[in-house]
Structure 1
Amino acid sequence: MSVLFLATTLCLIAGGLAIIYVLILIAAILRTKYLKDRAAEIHGFIREAALTYIKRQYTVIMTIVIAIATAILVAGISQRSTVLTYTGIAYFLGALSSATVGITGMYIAVLSNVRVLNVLANKGLNKALRVAFRGGAVTGFLVGGLGLLGIALLLIAFGGLGENYVDAVKALLGYAFGASTVALFARVGGGIYTKAADVGADLVGKVEVGIPEDDPRNPGVVADNVGDNVGDCAGMSADLFESYVESVVAAMAIGMLISPPEYARMLIAYPMIFASAAVITTILVAQFIEFSPLKEPSKTLTATSLLSIVTVAIITFIVTRLIAGEYNIALLWTAATAGLLAGGVVGFTSDYFTSGSYRPVKTVASSSRAGPALTILSGLSMGFYSTVAPIIAIAIAAFVAYTLGAHTVTMNPLIGGVYAVALSGVGMLAVASIVVAADAYGPIVDNTAGLAEQAGYPKSIRDEADKLDAAGNTMKSISKGYAIGSAALTALALLFTYATLLKSYVESVAPGIDFRIETLFTLTRADVLAGIIIGAAIPALFTAIVVQAVTAAAFKMVEEIRRQFREKPGILEWKEKPDYSRCVDIVTRYALKRLAPPGILALIAPILIGIFLGPTALGGALMSSIMVGLLLGLFQGNVGNTWDNAKKFIESGHFGGKGSDAHKAAVIGDTVGDPLKDAAG
């Protein structure tokens, strides 16, 4: 039995088990009853609006996907290139898989929120936590299950188990690219929608009018609840699916460059084996939520994350020893585990800086007593502090992985080192199913808290719902850290793949040139230096475009909510009903209208740099974009959640509680952080 056959079989088994587990979870959620009360009525509005937006958004996205896939297929057929033709097919299927994860996960999240509320009201906090986590786990295990199934089935379809493994793996890069395209547009579109609705509803409702969050008198409240699902669930799950698939495929693509072929097959197979063993392990670890003795939601979720890291490390070590055979790949397990541990550092740093249980959030909340300026300044400082430990951890993981890979793949230490860096990205996302489950848990409990407020549930239940919600905010920050960190490691590895392809091209057109990859992106080259400087600006420009889009849409939301309060004064006196659909329509139109520019920037900027400055300048630009993007991504994800949980800390009764000056200042900090953490970040 060949090692590639073994890896593919294991992928099919792990992916199949994950999908079966997803179906079991969906059945359990649908069996959970809910009352046909006011909360159910509002839930119906949210479900209808969310589905309407998702249909419109994915119509736009899939139109773009079909156009790109068609262009690749036409190029492949016209050039009679099997690899290019397979790449076009894989691209479309990768996009379709990503869309499936996002749409299914969001729909189940919407179905879960009202059920969580009913369980919370009748059976208590712990049982409600379990139902909410099941809803999130549907998305989480779809990521792992569909990702592995897609890779395995395409590898088989493209003849990758035989002598054609190189072309098959090359075509698999299209699968990752397709997932990446959908993730880019879904994340941006959903982020603009959710944060425009959130900022608009909060600024008028909380700051100007002084009504509570999720108050049914606020015309923007339904749009806000819808946004939690289309942005935080559908968008983020597509993002993590892309990171997951890309990390595995990138490691496979670098492994295929090694000779002899027998060893290359082992290096292609190992990321699949590692990821498959991790998915099966995390299915078992997810049961900890069902039986956890811990009472606090945040502690339960954090303990589950820690348990998943430890268990995956142990199980993958055992599997590595079993399949190693004549190959010395124990050091490669260590390289992957370095990424796994770095992911743990990223996650627990985010937990420390964004949880209301620790000093950073309390410091920001305390600063709010002096006004919004100090809220923002203290939050900014905590946000920048929060980037240091993760970046150091990622740097150490990359260094350790490279060193171990170079010592393992002795026939080509350079490729071996970069392969191990890619493998550390696989390791970081080995617990992706748990991470995504905890992330998708966030919008479910956010909606649960909103429904409790809007439907007039007793304060005791609303307070319990807020505990679930606060834990969800921290989990969202952790998941963003994983996505950003793994993307950085994978991108560094793919940069080497780009350099290798460039070397092959140059040597094919000019055989006499002495071309060394080690000196390709040296700072002594003017074009590389120019590329580095320009590349550093791309993440900043992307952030500016997205935040500007949120600002414009939020401004229209603010105008509409003010108009309704002005023209229908009876709304605040409970005598007239707000026009929720009008606000939903505004953010829908603006999100779709502003969807394209950030995506076009990400797709076009590298092409323009390559055309005008050359391929080596493009390499420099990619390098600096990765570094600056890593810093900005970690900062924005953490600072937004720090401000959010500082607001919640005050709302829980500290520093004057709801309606106090400190609370109003914290709300402003939260609205500044919203587009950073959930749209641009």
Structure 2
Amino acid sequence: MENLFWIGFVGALIAGLFAVMQAKKVMTYSEGTDRMKKIAASIREGANAYLKQQYTTVFKVFVVVFVILLIMAFATGGKMLSKFTPFAFITGGVFSMLAGFIGMKIATASNARTAQAASESLNKGLRIAFSSGSVMGFTVVGLGMLDITMWYFILRFAFGIADPVQIGNIMVMNGMGASFMALFARVGGGIYTKAADVGADLVGKVEAGIPEDDPRNPATIADNVGDNVGDVAGMGADLYESYVGSILATFSLGAIAGYGFRGMLLPLLLAVTGIICSIIGSFLVKTKEDATQQSLLKSLRTGTYTAAILAAVIAAPLTYVVLGNWGVYVAILCGLIGGCAIGYFTEYYTSDTYKPTQELAAASETGSATIIIGGISLGLKSTMVSILIVAAAVLLSFFCAGGAQSFNMGLYGIGIAGVGMLSTLGITLATDAYGPVADNAGGIAEMSGLPEEVRQRTDALDSLGNTTAATGKGFAIGSASLTALALLVSYVDIVQSNTTEVLDLSLTNPLMLVGLFIGAMLTFVFSAFTMSAVQKAAQSIVVEVRRQFRSIPGIMEYKADPDYASCVALCTKGALHEMVAPALLAIIVPIATGLILGPIGVVGLLGGVSVTGFAMAVFMSNAGGAWDNAKKYIESGHHGGKGSDQHKAAVVGDTVGDPFKDTSGPSLNILIKLCSTVSIVFSGLILAFNLMNIL
């Protein structure tokens, strides 16, 4: 079985070739008029400039951490840390960066093409935007397969490590680089996009009364740039980390459970199968002209559900041949079904085709305060279903995989359920990544003065994108909870194997309790940092837009052009400055907790941050998505339509929801896993030097 891991390279090649084919197809379409090309070029330029500065900042952090890891690994002769981990840290970060960067490049090349296609037909606009999203989706899974398989072959054959437990424990640490990059990309990009969005909406739509993406608004280019650096590049790095993290955690659990290399091969085979099934499903995404939101959703559902069903069918013989355990197959089904169920209920709470968002829109009749209260209530309520789905998946996968007979086999079932949930990530991410492209297309259509029917089509695609984005975040958050549990177990196993003492992990242990409180606190403080970052960056944009409206005569009469570049520069500076504190918080707190409370306190922290982080992430993502679609529901002609008092109230609600759904919420699932991987990597340091040892 250990010689079959080359299948990972095959999966990476298939995903890569399909991504290239989709990219080439997109690039054959026209970008439209000269005006459209100019606007698209400005968005590309702003996105490239931001990412260049972001990667420069992150590079400095990576160098510092790399040096620290090298010292830990080589100064102690590999006793405190594997000698491979510092280099895996770099490759994970680089691949995570590439996933986001490639996705951003194709998104900024597709936005004008989608707008031009939407001027011809709704289906053509959908196909181009979705093809662009497919490039992102399959780039992420292809690079993930390449990174994982490459390191397996380095460890197993280049260095001759024959013990599957040792390989599993080394590889589970390899996810830290991807988590690092994902956090910086998601937090930084999220701050950028929401600072621009909030600033543009508050001054342009609420104060000046001009439409969204109006060329008179100085922040509109920055807003469109933000869609790409936050919702595409940030999301690509985020989902890459989720995908790789779930597989690596299951590698470790498979070895611990006694399955050896067979237990490590199965998640790899599932991932490759998911790639092929996702490609098949992607060809089924199409729609008709004058399609409703319901039929557009059905079109995307057809692709994602078909891929999931095919993956479920193929997983049966694979599981039987590799492990001969039908219980593990049931665990895989739990992950697949759980992922689809989370997606469906996320859609239910955030799409304007369903009652919750329609009722939220109706709350605008009595002002912005009631729509904000209603959105918070909706988000809080939505956590119940997602948590119950994950709880059911955990219990079923644990006991069906043999947890009653062997605790470790049950834990492997939970890990493989997480892999099952993300196995069709190629198409799931494609449906997510297409949303920002459609949003940009709408902005380009508005700024280019294309006919109203074009904007109506791009708005329909954009509204659908809000729902699919929320669905994608639901997948990421759901899988994060399963992966976090698997990583928590890996941490306990690694610590226990390096100490003769038996860890007292009972809730009555004060160290455990204090760790739980710190973990819960970390979720709230991290959210506060990211929300505050958006607030501070957005304030600078509001001030700048107001200044330009006052000081540049002729803007409102289309006689003078706004200074778009100043808003882009402000967003870049604000995002890069504000992203450092929350990112460092996620790294420093687990290490500091371990050095004071020891490994038991860290276990408590990981439990606390996993539970509260999961609930908070679902709440924020769903509340924000519902506010956004409630606004679009009103803009489509309900409850007074555009320009009404109800619409202004909905814009305020959407503005509050922007950092909920695109900054703090999606960053929390990275926080959960980063805390786990940081704790695993620094477990040797914590065991050797912690205050509890001295006392």
Partners of 1:291 and 1:334 lie apart in 2 by: 34
Equivalent residue number for residue 271 of structure 2: 275
Partners of 2:146 and 2:228 lie apart in 1 by: 26
Contact 1:278–1:431 under 8 Å retained in 2: yes
Give the partner amino acid of 1:199: V
Partners of 1:286 and 1:66 lie apart in 2 by: 39
Q: Aligned with 2:641: secondary structure? A: coil
Contact 1:101–1:234 under 8 Å retained in 2: yes
User: For each residue in 1:388-410, what CA deviation from the matched residue of structure 2 results, as whole angstroms up to 9, or x when unmatched?
Assistant: 111100000000111122359x5
Q: Aligned with 2:498: secondary structure? A: helix
Contact 1:294–1:300 under 8 Å retained in 2: no
Q: CA deviation at 1:162?
A: 5.9
Partners of 2:35 and 2:447 lie apart in 1 by: 8
Equivalent residue number for residue 594 of structure 1: 578
Match of 2:413 among 415, 420, 423: 420
Q: CA deviation at 1:214?
A: 0.2
Partners of 2:506 and 2:473 lie apart in 1 by: 32
- What runs of 5+ residues in structure 1 fail to find an aligned partner? 508-512
Give the partner amino acid of 2:248: V
Contact 1:92–1:175 under 8 Å retained in 2: no
Equivalent residue number for residue 9 of structure 2: 12
Contact 1:176–1:246 under 8 Å retained in 2: yes
Match of 1:555 among 539, 544, 556: 539
Give the partner amino acid of 2:305: L
User: For each residue in 1:221-277, what CA deviation from the matched residue of structure 2 results, as whole angstroms up to 9, or x when unmatched?
Assistant: 000000000000000111111010000000001122244xxx311112111111111
Alignment pair present for 1:138 and 2:118: no
Equivalent residue number for residue 151 of structure 1: 148
Equivalent residue number for residue 510 of structure 1: none
Match of 1:116 among 98, 101, 114: 114
Give the partner amino acid of 1:498: Y
Q: Aligned with 2:218: secondary structure? A: coil
Q: Aligned with 2:557: secondary structure? A: coil
Percent identical pairs in the alignment equals: 40
Alignment pair present for 1:494 and 2:492: no
Alignment pair present for 1:468 and 2:449: no
Contact 2:330–2:401 under 8 Å retained in 1: no
Partners of 1:305 and 1:377 lie apart in 2 by: 33
Give the partner amino acid of 2:437: I
Q: Aligned with 1:576: secondary structure? A: coil
Partners of 1:393 and 1:572 lie apart in 2 by: 51
Equivalent residue number for residue 306 of structure 1: 305
Contact 2:432–2:468 under 8 Å retained in 1: yes
Partners of 1:583 and 1:629 lie apart in 2 by: 32
Match of 2:92 among 70, 83, 94: 94
Match of 1:22 among 19, 24, 30: 19
Equivalent residue number for residue 33 of structure 1: 30
Give the partner amino acid of 1:177: M
Partners of 2:251 and 2:601 lie apart in 1 by: 26
Give the partner amino acid of 2:621: G
Q: Aligned with 1:570: secondary structure? A: coil
Contact 1:278–1:315 under 8 Å retained in 2: no
Contact 1:214–1:221 under 8 Å retained in 2: yes
Contact 1:39–1:451 under 8 Å retained in 2: yes
After TM superposition, the structure 1 = structure 2 runs for residues 209-608 of structure 1, keeping only pairs within 5 Å, are: 209-259=208-258, 263-289=259-285, 295=291, 296-321=295-320, 323-324=321-322, 327-407=323-403, 410=405, 413-507=406-500, 513=501, 515=502, 520-608=504-592
Contact 1:121–1:461 under 8 Å retained in 2: yes
Give the partner amino acid of 1:420: G
Q: CA deviation at 1:78?
A: 3.0
After TM superposition, the structure 1 = structure 2 runs for residues 21-100 of structure 1, keeping only pairs within 5 Å, are: 21-81=18-78, 84-100=82-98
Equivalent residue number for residue 682 of structure 2: none
Alignment pair present for 1:196 and 2:195: yes
Contact 1:372–1:669 under 8 Å retained in 2: yes
Contact 1:129–1:297 under 8 Å retained in 2: no
Q: CA deviation at 1:164?
A: 4.6
Partners of 1:11 and 1:281 lie apart in 2 by: 15
Contact 2:123–2:289 under 8 Å retained in 1: no
**Residue 293 to residue 424, structure 1, CA distance change in 2 (3 Å):** farther
Give the partner amino acid of 1:415: N
User: For each residue in 1:5-49, what CA deviation from the matched residue of structure 2 results, as whole angstroms up to 9, or x when unmatched?
Assistant: 22x122111111000101111111111122232111111110101
Partners of 1:414 and 1:308 lie apart in 2 by: 31
Contact 1:292–1:300 under 8 Å retained in 2: no
- Range that drifts further, 574-583 or 285-294: 285-294
Partners of 1:568 and 1:660 lie apart in 2 by: 28
Contact 1:95–1:175 under 8 Å retained in 2: no
**Residue 85 to residue 419, structure 1, CA distance change in 2 (3 Å):** same
Alignment pair present for 1:106 and 2:90: no
Q: CA deviation at 1:292?
A: 8.4
Q: CA deviation at 1:531?
A: 1.3
TM-score under structure 2 normalisation?
0.92
Contact 2:283–2:303 under 8 Å retained in 1: no
Give the partner amino acid of 2:629: N
**Residue 294 to residue 120, structure 1, CA distance change in 2 (3 Å):** closer
Q: CA deviation at 1:209?
A: 0.4
Q: CA deviation at 1:382?
A: 1.1
Q: CA deviation at 1:460?
A: 0.9
Contact 1:73–1:84 under 8 Å retained in 2: no
Q: CA deviation at 1:356?
A: 1.1
Cα-Cα RMSD: 1.7
Q: CA deviation at 1:595?
A: 1.3
Contact 1:155–1:169 under 8 Å retained in 2: no
Partners of 2:495 and 2:153 lie apart in 1 by: 28
Partners of 1:204 and 1:405 lie apart in 2 by: 56
Partners of 1:543 and 1:42 lie apart in 2 by: 34
User: For each residue in 1:323-343, what CA deviation from the matched residue of structure 2 results, as whole angstroms up to 9, or x when unmatched?
Assistant: 23xx43221121121011111
Partners of 1:564 and 1:370 lie apart in 2 by: 32
Give the partner amino acid of 1:483: A
Partners of 2:601 and 2:74 lie apart in 1 by: 31
TM-score under structure 1 normalisation?
0.94
Moved over 6 A (4+): 291-294
Partners of 1:166 and 1:86 lie apart in 2 by: 15
Partners of 1:473 and 1:227 lie apart in 2 by: 15
Equivalent residue number for residue 690 of structure 2: none
Contact 1:90–1:171 under 8 Å retained in 2: no
User: For each residue in 1:576-628, what CA deviation from the matched residue of structure 2 results, as whole angstroms up to 9, or x when unmatched?
Assistant: 11000000000100100011111111001111111222221221111011000
Q: Aligned with 2:211: secondary structure? A: coil
Contact 1:281–1:315 under 8 Å retained in 2: no
Give the partner amino acid of 1:463: Q
Give the partner amino acid of 2:415: A
Equivalent residue number for residue 183 of structure 2: 184
Give the partner amino acid of 2:362: S
The number of residues matched between the two structures is: 659
**Residue 307 to residue 293, structure 1, CA distance change in 2 (3 Å):** farther
Q: CA deviation at 1:90?
A: 1.1
Contact 2:115–2:125 under 8 Å retained in 1: yes
Contact 2:466–2:629 under 8 Å retained in 1: yes
Contact 2:206–2:651 under 8 Å retained in 1: yes
Partners of 1:15 and 1:458 lie apart in 2 by: 42
